[in-house]
A and B are shown apart, each in its own frame.
Chain A
């Protein structure tokens, strides 16, 4: 589809883009502009000239389809081959599959939510440049959700816990952490959404999410996951560019925007960091073949790369996010605290947990010389001994949750890993509890929003997490089994220790059949 200028020459990519996007826009005439774009002003962000927006991609649909179609073809060819050759039997160890369950339930539905968020933001912006950029990203995100579900559905044929991720995201206790993170973003205004997801998540934190899962897949023989990861990579590069562009655009438009954006950067870096606790746990405990520790990943991808970014943004009056001192101290601790949580609540999760092997413990000791032997190894040793004696620890009492991040109150005081961090606020005659100064301050900035948090433990106690028609007053009522039913977790199959699980037995049996004559 070539367009000619009056001189008869073909247009370059940049000019074609200009004509085909901005050139198609118009001003409202018979309706008021603020009625057509009702969400653009209420957050307090001032935009004087939407044309100052610099387009980061300059894609028209024809080139977009061409690139994406090529990537899809490659991806599905590899996924098909992987499925046909029983590629699942090439993973290092069936424990690895639990990292992928975590991805499917905790991350893939967020791709879908990102799709919805970007369509919404795109609709809300009066400027045609960001509108088109958001549309492209919305399409990418939908593609990510679908390619991930396609790739991982292969595992659902053979292993437990893969059967109902979208349903689980809405219900299962720990999945309220990623879910509420995204719900918070998509229910914010379009500018906050862009700073939350476009900038803080895609630009600042995305490497901490994708690199561990994609490299983890590569290290552990999981071609399917590796392939969708690589297929998403060039999209991610575009998303990062968009994230950076949006923030620079907002900051350049009006000095009054700076404090608002700063508050959002503080909020969303903290919220994103809290969600990444799950990734830290995955890296340190769930990959049979480790890539690097959570602490190392944080140092490379946040402290080094992020340091340069915030130096660059300082010319706009933006400082690094709040609470970085605490984050820096906590990098020795959070992955261990998270694993301990999932290990003990293993009866109500949709994936398996286990006692690390002796050399995995040694690896952790070497990666965390200042914390692991002192605080965490004795606990894991004790649990392993107990499990060997048939007394595996399953915590059956519901935990207290943080009102903001919704994670059980497992995090410790800044500087003291032996003390749980308790923070509370009295608001409208009710007490609200928080895991940290960060989560407390986020609540204090938006109490009317966060007092509505759907906290899974409290919802269970309100009687809202049983299947329809359940009567909790009947004799012998077993709340745990009813909650699992409500979650669509198959008790005895999806949950409990990996040791003795159906996944463990099946994997060993099938691998034996594939590699020997039995």
Chain B
């Protein structure tokens, strides 16, 4: 039952792509590091290089954590919508199959938060 209404009920989604003025949302979570209470939302253009995400975007968001400086990016494991995923670092978000409101997560083997508590 999608709609119970007294007359035609037709509205647009509040977060449709066109509302973001040429950018799109990308959600990013760092596994085993719940000091950051939730995954982050970033506003980026679809041609944004994946490498720049790692170099220019994530440090500002995650840099407070002492584990962040220890990350060996070559060993990081990625998930896209919960499935294992190999990003092409020199390619754009779009070329990596990351559309509007895509969600990715990264796991940093050996790094499991404050005192190993996933904080």
Q: Interface of A with B (CB < 8 Å)?
A: 38-39, 42-44, 189, 337, 340-341, 344-345, 374-376, 378-379, 382, 393, 395, 397-401, 408-410, 412, 418-420, 422, 424, 428, 430-433, 445-449, 451-455, 457-459, 461-463
Contact = CB atoms under 8 A, between A and B. Distances in A.
Interface in B70-114: 81-82, 99-103, 105, 114
A43 B5 CA distance: 8
B9 A448 contact: yes
Interface string B51-77: 000000000110010000000000000
A455 B15 contact: yes
Given A382-B119, A410-B38, A451-B14, 15 more contacts: A344-B37, A378-B114, A400-B38, A400-B40, A408-B38, A409-B29, A424-B103, A430-B101, A431-B99, A431-B102, A447-B2, A448-B10, A453-B14, A461-B43, A462-B21
Contacts of A463: 21
A455 B16 CA distance: 12
A393 B119 contact: no
A445 B1 contact: yes
Interface string B24-64: 01010101101111111111000000000000000011001
22 contacts: A337-B37, A340-B35, A344-B36, A375-B118, A378-B115, A379-B34, A379-B35, A379-B117, A397-B40, A397-B61, A399-B40, A399-B41, A401-B41, A410-B38, A420-B29, A422-B29, A430-B17, A431-B81, A448-B2, A458-B14, A458-B15, A462-B21
B43 to A, nearest CB: 5
A198 B101 CA distance: 36
B64 to A, nearest CB: 6
B13 A341 contact: no
Contacts of A38: 6
B27 A400 contact: yes
B38 A420 contact: yes
A462 B2 contact: no
A347 to B, nearest CB: 13
Interface residues of B, number: 50
Contacts of B81: 424, 431
Given A378-B115, A400-B103, A430-B101, A420 B13 contact: no
Contact of B41 (A341, A398, A448): A398
Nearest to A393: B64
Contacts of A424: 81-82, 103
Contacts of B61: 397
Contacts of A400: 27, 29, 38-41, 103
A348 to B, nearest CB: 13
The 10 A-B pairs of least Cβ separation, nearest first, read A379-B119, A408-B38, A399-B38, A418-B118, A451-B13, A431-B101, A397-B61, A400-B27, A400-B39, A341-B37
Contacts of B39: 399-400, 409, 420, 422
B70 to A, nearest CB: 16
Nearest to A44: B4
Contacts of B118: 375, 418
B60 A397 contact: yes
B16 to A, nearest CB: 7
Contacts of B42: 397
A430 B15 contact: yes
A429 to B, nearest CB: 9
Contacts of A458: 14-15, 25, 41
Contacts of A401: 38, 41
A341 B35 CA distance: 9
A419 B43 CA distance: 24
B102 A418 contact: no
A95 B115 CA distance: 29
A39 B6 contact: yes
Contacts of B6: 38-39, 42
Contact of A433 (B23, B27, B34, B119): B27
B13 A457 contact: no
Contact of B40 (A375, A379, A398, A452): A398
B117 A378 contact: yes
Contact of B20 (A378, A398, A452, A461): A461
A397 B81 CA distance: 21
Given A424-B103, A457-B41, A448 B34 contact: no
A449 B11 CA distance: 8
B37 A452 contact: no
B101 A340 contact: no
A46 to B, nearest CB: 14
A432 B15 CA distance: 9
A461 B41 contact: yes
Nearest to A464: B19
Contacts of B17: 430
Given A400-B41, A458-B25, A422 B15 contact: no
A382 B114 contact: yes
A450 B13 CA distance: 8
A398 to B, nearest CB: 5
